[in-house]
Amino acid sequence: MKSLLFVLVLLSVSIKTNAQGKTTDYKLSLEADLLPYSLGGYFGALAFGDDNMRIRAIGASATKPDIILPSGFTKNTLQAYALLLDYFPYSKNYSGFWGYTGVVYWSSTIQNKDDNSKSAFTNTLLSVGGGYSYYFFKDLYVSPWAGLHVRVAGDKSVPVGTKTFEVPLLNPEASVKIGWCFTLFTKNSSTDPLSH
């Protein structure tokens, strides 16, 4: 996990070769995701980056609907924290198609329907996915997206009273984000001091 975080940081601050006179915009984005709110939770994301790459930090909470849980379980609530790297291959203003990868940490609880016993567990997941961002008014955008979270560490089998909850290996997710993006500052590339 430390290696993956190191790679994310290196990619996000990678030095790019710029032609003389080229400028790079450094932007800040604030985002909300509709899915956690619809599930009784919250979501907040803060992203910072250059023309087409940014690093994004997320804090969220949600309760999974019983319909997607194994029979006999309820109230699967999770607190999620993520560090992600977003890449926009066709745009320098964070619009159009984008992809991401990163690390997610879940701190969860789940309840046994039969005896109301509750257990807590934690997981680390690798997340990959992408979406499409569309600016609908000035610096405001909407971004439908989908991703897959793969459990790579943490609890696998969780005793919950008389039952055992098996933590899924694969966790698909899809939703819609609404965001606000603005330029913090613009940097001009410097001329190579060795060139004449």
Domains belonging to the chain, first-starting first, are 26-67+77-108+121-159+169-185 (2.40.160.20)
pLDDT of 5: 54
pLDDT of 92: 85
Nearest to 189 by CA among 3, 17, 10: 17
**31: which 2 tokens?**
């985002």
CA-based torsion, 151, 152, 158, 163: positive or negative = positive
CB atoms within 10 A of CB 69: 17
Q: What is the DSSP string of 75-142?
A: EEEEEEEEEEEEE-TT-SSS-EEEEEEEEEEEEEEEEETTT--EEEEEEEEEEEEEEEEEEEETTEEE
pLDDT of 188: 84
Percent of the chain with pLDDT over 70: 86
CB atoms within 10 A of CB 128: 13
pLDDT of 137: 96
When pLDDT is cut at 50, 70 and 90, the band that residue 83 belongs to is very high
